[in-house]
Structure 1
């Protein structure tokens, strides 16, 4: 049997189940009915709420490293990672210090969530997704397999991001010191949707219920309720009335319960 390494300064509810080879550092708090898989590493100070599932070989509360040429990674002290009640986190994920996952977030295998990221209630982060630092993701969003969410982005509630979508934040493509004054991620307003393999250029906004079609490259802001398509993406039509967020059964039910934002 492979031994666990659990700090005497960690607080673990007696009902929690810890897999073989787990490492749990000082100051960690693990709530009731949690299940941690084999070889999970929980770094110091991490807070895990009740009824959380963590799959094998996931790393929680990792400290960010700053490369010599890093332009955005901050050299600072971060708050502990917080994972709220009912979250499910897949295998081989890395979630950094300073991140916060609200209740019932689902994180697929191999996903990476960087420091100073907040994820809202019931949001799905798909397999292999990367959410870079200083990004906010709202409630009930779906970010699907291998999507890349660049640093400094903001995604409001009920947005949909299909597989292989890429957000960008540097119009200078790594050249000149001037670029550091202009870093800006992508903003998706409530109910915005982005199709598979689409690319959104730095600093752009997709308005409420806006839709960027699969394979498109967005080079200008996309207005609310409009469909853009192509390379570069241009106006194609209006989002059909029956697809508007306000007409979705799940949205009506959630808003009646007051489930707004993270």
Structure 2
């Protein structure tokens, strides 16, 4: 284990992990085998970073995020609270990369809003925002902004439905089958109804 960054009391760091100087890990977070946290990266409280995760430099990960094995979060990526990143999902940070040309000034920002889920092996092309509580299917390729609560699938990803806060696919009645919470459409925007069950 090589810990040079700031690890809060109550966090767990596996002996094979590396936390660089200038990185911060919040209380209750668990950093597992072969994770590398680069300088300037901030990890919130109660996060789980699975085996072989790389984050940084200067990545922000909110509270309660779960990042499964083999995920790389590059500069320009921000995860809000309670984001789920499935195994081997991919984030990019430049649209026209070349091995022989440095293009750091062209890094595009990617924002993943609160409660979003990204499925295994999905690819998130940089410069896009994934809306709150959206769900990106396994293997999908996101090439544009994703609305809140949208269910996205395919290559390129397109909206094939809506999901609830609980992550359940909504039927025509826009009622969550797990919780009974109700939603309504305002044009192409899904809105939770107040005082829903």
TM-score scaled to structure 1, two decimals?
Answer: 0.61
The answer to whether residue 6 in structure 2 is matched with residue 60 in structure 1 is no
Aligned equivalents of 1:185, 1:112: Cα separation in 2: 21
Task: Indicate conservation of the 8 Å contact 1:147/1:163, yes or no.
Answer: yes
What SS does structure 2 have at the residue aligned with 1:215? coil
Shift in Å at residue 179 of structure 1?
3.9
The answer to whether residue 81 in structure 2 is matched with residue 138 in structure 1 is no
Task: Indicate conservation of the 8 Å contact 2:62/2:80, yes or no.
Answer: yes
Residue 198 (structure 1) aligns with: 122
After superposition, the CA RMSD in angstroms is: 2.1
Residue 73 (structure 2) aligns with: 149
Aligned equivalents of 1:191, 1:108: Cα separation in 2: 22
Shift in Å at residue 121 of structure 1?
0.5
Shift in Å at residue 240 of structure 1?
3.6
Shift in Å at residue 147 of structure 1?
1.0
Aligned equivalents of 2:89, 2:167: Cα separation in 1: 21
Of 201, 213, 227, 2:137 maps to: 213
Q: 1:175 to 1:112 in 2, by over 3 A?
A: closer
- Superimposed CA distance per residue, residues 197-252 of structure 1 (whole angstroms, 9 cap, x where no aligned partner): 001011111010011100011111111110110111111100146437xx999xxx
Task: Indicate conservation of the 8 Å contact 2:62/2:81, yes or no.
Answer: yes
Shift in Å at residue 112 of structure 1?
0.7
| Structure 1 spans left out of the alignment, 5+ residues | 1-57, 62-80, 250-262
| Structure 2 spans left out of the alignment, 5+ residues | 169-175, 180-197
Residue 188 (structure 1) aligns with: 112
Residue 93 (structure 2) aligns with: 169
Residue-pair matches, total: 171
Of 227, 234, 237, 2:158 maps to: 234
Q: 1:207 to 1:92 in 2, by over 3 A?
A: same
Indicate the structure (1 or 2) with the bigger Cα radius of gyration.
1
Q: 1:228 to 1:117 in 2, by over 3 A?
A: same
Task: Indicate conservation of the 8 Å contact 1:109/1:127, yes or no.
Answer: yes
Q: 1:233 to 1:180 in 2, by over 3 A?
A: same
Aligned equivalents of 1:192, 1:151: Cα separation in 2: 19
TM-score scaled to structure 2, two decimals?
Answer: 0.81
Q: 1:224 to 1:102 in 2, by over 3 A?
A: same
Of 10, 16, 21, 1:92 maps to: 16
What SS does structure 1 have at the residue aligned with 2:104? helix
Q: 1:83 to 1:238 in 2, by over 3 A?
A: same
Aligned equivalents of 1:194, 1:170: Cα separation in 2: 20
Task: Indicate conservation of the 8 Å contact 1:167/1:199, yes or no.
Answer: yes
Q: Which has the higher helix share?
A: 1
Q: Counterparts of 1:11-50 in structure 2 under 5 Å? A: none
